[in-house]
């Protein structure tokens, strides 16, 4: 019975790790596209601010999810 609990705990950790990696990839990809498209869709200083803002948002989300996965 103890081995079943250990196997279940290991499986849950694996699913959690894979889910965090999936969310990190999707969030980083969306922010990257938003940063790229802000250079074409916005005018003036908003181009630079939009690009930098989305770039920093993607970096912050990736950093936060890496800490959640205990990777540093």
The structure tokens listed for 1 are 């019975």
Q: Quick check: 41 pLDDT over 80? A: yes
Tell me the average pLDDT across 31-45: 87
Domain that holds residue 48: 2-68
Indicate the helix (H) or strand (E) that contains 32: helix 2-41
Q: Quick check: 4 pLDDT over 80? A: no
Give the pLDDT score at 72.
Answer: 46
- Number of independent structural domains in the chain: 1
As a residue count, the chain comes to: 72
**Residues near 23 by beta carbon (within 8 Å), at least 6 away in sequence:** 65
Angle among Cα 14, 5, 8 to the nearest 5 degrees reads: 25
């Amino acid at each position: 019975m103890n081995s079943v609990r250990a196997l279940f705990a290991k499986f849950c950790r694996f699913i959690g790790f894979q889910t965090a990696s999936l969310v990190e990839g999707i969030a980083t990809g969306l922010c990257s596209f938003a940063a790229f498209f802000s250079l074409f869709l916005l005018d003036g200083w908003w181009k630079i601010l939009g690009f930098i803002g989305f770039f920093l948002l993607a970096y912050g989300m990736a950093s936060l999810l890496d800490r959640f996965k205990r990777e540093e």
